[in-house]
Structure 1
Amino acid sequence: MSARWKKIVSLSVLGFATLATSYGAAGMVGGALPTNSGWRAPETGVRIFVESNGIHTGLVMPVVAEGLDWSDLARAGDIADPRFAAHPYVAIGWGERAFYLETQTWADVKLQTILGAAIGSDRTLMHVEHVAMPRSRPDVREIMLRPEEYRKLAAFVRASFRVENGRTVHQYGYGSYDAFYDAHGQYSAIETCNAWTGDALRHAGVRIGGWTPFPVNVLGWFAR
């Protein structure tokens, strides 16, 4: 390799490292600046959860609460084993199609997938899991919402589903208890799956950071 190409490669690596560092720093600052700063959780209301697998965050909500029922969007017949639809909760997240389907864990992460999603993609999905009561663990947070706050949250989430001819379009998920659905919205380095979770909570009036691109930006606002 010539000296000229070595210099180009070195500058490219330095530029990428600087960009990644700046992005990480901006995310931590944005996640630390509160919105809805006067919000406090009520003692009673609708209990939801925020959970993370280390990459994606999602909202865990009761299938039926405050007159709202998720079974019209996330139908029992949409999952490989419809018996799981009897569980009382649904875990719902939003994200980029390739990122969701190819990066279930950190071991699955590929640079080309990350870069492709970060540049921008309108191929987005909703991920819905039918689950029992979430267990207490470090990557789960419980949040109590007032009925009107829960209705706002649910309205935001429902609006993210793409509905065609009165029905959601689905495909099977990672296992027998989950499915993916076509979604609205464009994924980017700014509007990540975790930013969507923060947007949903912010829309409901919950105290959370102004920009939440990483899981820690979401979970960090709620006590274990």
Structure 2
Amino acid sequence: MAAQANPALNLAKRLALRALAGLAILVLLFFLAAWIGSSIPRNGNWEEPADGVEIMVETNGVHTAIVMPLVTPQKDWRIDFPASDLVDPTRPYTHVSVSWGEREVFLNTPSWADLTLPTAVGAMIGGDGLLHVSHYVRPAPSEDARPLTITQAQYARLIAAIEREIVPPPARTSYPGYESYDVFYDAPGTYHLGQTCNQWTSDTLAEAGIETGWWTPMAGGVMKWVPANQ
């Protein structure tokens, strides 16, 4: 019996090794495609103006978001994202950070250590969208929060792109954020491997006419288009 079992065991080992090798190749191809795709520019003729509206593109190393003034003559974000939705609504907020992502990942992973394999696989296959909105008080530029000046016309286009992602307050559900100054909202769209949170950031910037990468599933693909220490 032992002699008969060895060939079957060896076959199982070979199949497992081939499966792992195939998975490793797929992962490498994904990262290669992401590097190539994020290096292809959109709005390649864009130049940062000397004057205009200063926004920021921020990252935590995995996820990216767009930071904007809370109130300008063009837009008062307090109407769409009232401070009353926050745990701490009383601080003198000056900016709002907006990003989009997958519902289960956003709501069930307050830290990346909480991310489980089923949640990650579910997000890659396809999950409901959710907006993450944080309110800041005079955010300081840094390596992970890079300022970018855009024209008034470009900011108007950025506003319009983000407004399309906003479910009107009476029709949406809000969910507690990770801190006292952030909140989640229902949002349209389906998250999947081809439409990630970082792709949403670059698509939104590109729609405003700002130079960014073509396919940016990872945060680095977004941030490499925003110079640090301007």
TMscore range, shorter length? over 0.9
Aligned counterparts of 2:31 and 2:168: Cα–Cα separation in 1: 35
Deviations 1:137-194 (A, max 9, x none): 21111110101100111111111122364x5421110011110000111101110000
Distance of aligned partners of 1:146 and 1:27 in 2 relative to their CA distance in 1, 3 Å threshold? same
Aligned counterparts of 2:155 and 2:132: Cα–Cα separation in 1: 19
Task: Using the TM superposition, give the Cα deviation of residue 136 of structure 1 relative to its aligned residue in structure 2, in angstroms.
Answer: 2.5
Q: Pairwise mapping of residues 57-76 of structure 1 onto structure 2 (< 5 A)?
A: 57-76=64-83
Q: Gaps spanning 5+ residues in structure 1: where?
A: none
Aligned to 2:195: 191
Q: Which moved more, 1:179-188 or 1:70-79?
A: 70-79
Aligned to 2:4: none
What TM-score do the two structures reach when normalised by structure 2?
0.91
Contact 1:54 1:106 (8 Å CA) reproduced: no
Task: Using the TM superposition, give the Cα deviation of residue 107 of structure 1 relative to its aligned residue in structure 2, in angstroms.
Answer: 3.0
Of 13, 18, 21 in structure 1, the residue corresponding to residue 20 of structure 2 is: 13
Q: Pairwise mapping of residues 18-167 of structure 1 onto structure 2 (< 5 A)?
A: 18-84=25-91, 86-121=92-127, 123-163=128-168, 165=170, 167=171
Which aligned segments of 4 or more residues in structure 1 are displaced greater than 4 angstroms? none
Deviations 1:13-33 (A, max 9, x none): 112111111111111111101
Q: Gaps spanning 5+ residues in structure 2: where?
A: 1-7
Contact 2:80 2:169 (8 Å CA) reproduced: no
What letter is aligned with 2:27?
A
Aligned to 1:215: 219
- Aligned with 2:143: secondary structure? coil
Give % identity: 37
Contact 1:79 1:179 (8 Å CA) reproduced: yes
Figure out how many residues of one structure are paired with residues of the other and give that number. Answer: 221
- Aligned with 2:142: secondary structure? coil
CA RMSD of aligned residues (A): 1.6
Contact 1:56 1:215 (8 Å CA) reproduced: yes
